Amino acid sequence: MREHLLFTYQFNLGHLESLVKDLTDEQMVQQPHGVVNHPAWTLCHLASASNHTGVALGLESTFPADWEAAAKTGGVPGADASQYPSKDALLAELKKQHERVAGAVADADPAVFAKEYPDEKTRKFFPTMGDFVDYLLSAHEANHIGQIAAWRRAMGLASDAG
């Protein structure tokens, strides 16, 4: 089953790249019609989430510490482009994190996924490591892919840059 999850994770990365390929750095932080989660925040957040998934699987954190504030879950994204890395930097970091996590998932002993998730607060939602990893690599990213597609519509753009 891991190969199916890893296929989805890779597919998500391609979808994210497609959704932002025609955007400028200035567009990446616009918040049309009150849409808060713009693409710059979303890509930064997803790279951070992938890094956290890697850490949960035993990898060292490689996410840039100075990007953490821009990626914070529950944070309020702003329209100041200087608060975010460039689109190219965000995509490079997201791709790097995807590669690291995909390798860790592929190489992990299957018993790892049956283990109880170590953080009690998170365990309420994801009882096992497998539950956490499966969600982060699939549904979490899909949710944010949908947000970017909706953001594109609010910007007057096609929902997918195709």
Report pLDDT digits (tens) over 140-150. Answer: 999 999 999 99
| Most distant pair of Cα atoms in the chain: their distance | 47
Arithmetic mean of pLDDT, 91-110:
97
Within 10 A of 129 (CB to CB), how many other CB atoms are there?
20
Answer yes or no: are the C-beta atoms of 64 and 109 closer than 8 Å. Answer: no
Query: What is the rounded distance in angstroms from the CA atom of residue 149 to the CA atom of residue 161?
Result: 9
* Intra-chain end-to-end CA distance of the chain, in Å: 29
All structural domains of the chain, each given as residue ranges with its CATH number in brackets, are 2-154 (1.20.120.450)
- For the four alpha carbons of 90, 94, 100 and 101, in that order, the dihedral sign comes to positive
**Residues paired with residue 116 on neighbouring β-strands, in sequence order:** 128
Q: pLDDT digit string (tens) for 108-162?
A: 999 999 999 999 999 999 999 999 999 999 999 999 999 999 999 999 998 877 6
